[in-house]
Structure 1
Amino acid sequence: MQNIKSERRQHQPVTKMTEKKAKGPTVTPQLARMRGQWVQETKEVTIKAPNNMLGVVVGPGGSTIKEIQEKYKVRVSVPQKGSKDQPLRVVGLDKGLVHDAADHIKALVQKAVTTTVTIKAPNNMLGVVVGPGGSTIKEIQEKYKVRVSVPQKGSKDQPLRVVGPDKGLVQDAAVHIESLMAYEKERRRLSTPVSQTVFIPKAHHGLIIGRQGQNIRYLSLTRRITIVLPPKNVISDEVTVTGLPDQVDQGVRDLVNLVKSSTHICYNSDF
């Protein structure tokens, strides 16, 4: 009798509670339809964005991504920090809004991507770029929508940096700065006195002086130069002309032409 009861227990059917544990939670037909509808109707767009740009999309405290999701009725999935350039995902029911949200995000990323240009600048040119009270650098930054970083005073010819979101404007700003420095460099060259030596035979130095010094006096006044001849007791062909660069160049030409026209001497000179 005991064996028969034992066999009956072994063949008893599984209880309802046991069946529920084996099958897991019940999925109602309504929930299944909702899931199927979501999968069927949702639209998704992926956006490639470098990891260092994810903060632009998320925003301070998640404010930017929250604003995008609420405005376009979408869900934006951002890759985990440290993942290797995984794409962002924009998902929603309205295809148009999904694409609009994606365009919005792309614009944010593009705007945040910066272009950097370095410009070699001697320390004595930094003041030209900065301008009185910072007026010049401020004008450049506002005009070209860039940020100009100037090396600290006393640094050894460190480059200037021009940074901005628009590559074309960054390059335009760099050209503007280089033009300012080139103009200033030329201005300083033309306004700084120089000396030049021309070799004219000692025997013809009297032609340069002229009767009662009229030739040397005329050249000195009209060209605004200083002409220095070697002393009479010194045998030297060197004649030194001092003044501003353009005036010195013309003065040397005048001296050479004066001697040529009087002596018919041919000089190996560019003048």
Structure 2
Amino acid sequence: MTRSSLTPSLHDAVEAIMREASGAAILPHYQRLAASEIDAKAPDDVVTIADKEAELLLTDRLAALLPEAAVVGEEAVYADPSVMERLKDRLCWIVDPLDGTNNFAAGKPPFGILVALADKGETIGGWILDCLTGRFCKTDLGGGAWIDGARVSARATGCQPPVAAISTVFLDEGARQKVLTHIAPEYTLVDIPRCAAEQYPRLVLGINDISVFNRTLPWDHAAGVLFLNEAGGMAARPDGSAYRVDEYDRRDLIGASSPQLWDSFAALTAALG
């Protein structure tokens, strides 16, 4: 499949499926979760009944939409890690049924749905839905970036120093001190929303200039990286190499609202070693 295969009707169908999942499987549980409907997958990482119900719906609908494409869902991979192998050699949907689950489980925004379409490791389409506001972002390779039907271009905040969303919570002490000593004086540090479905739009909409990601799992980043790059921003590995969904064991990713801001931040972090 090529970019030209991502027709307006396909975009519309994906949007309809995502809105159905939000309305039928996610929002009915918002601020209504029982303790028995929240499970811990790892320390500080939970899954809810909404994640599971939304992934089942999304998987069923997307598989019917493109029968030739595999589906790689976050919860399916948690149950069977070998599902990740589907990313390497075929057309596949990549599904995060509820991004920002910790926020959702706490009864607060932001949270959303992320869907991407990749072919042999390269993302060719991406869709991001904010479940509460209804904001819908879409993109395809070479086709630009769109929010609620209007084409968008990434814009910087215009702030000096630039605004960088960096969490120090999950860093070891050495890395935390590097951020506080060397990066904080050059940037205004703000907390991350713990929701990639919110972080990537912030880089396009002039809210943040930089975002740094340590874990780069495909369901969190495939759609957002393509959306940001197609909007004229830049998301790439710290060495400048492109993000690929089949390189899921790699860590670290920098997103910026412009290539110039990306270059400046990457040069600073490279100098820190």
TM-score (norm 1): 0.20
The structure where strand makes up a greater share of residues is 2
Q: Larger C-alpha radius of gyration, 1 or 2?
A: 1
The structure where helix makes up a greater share of residues is 1
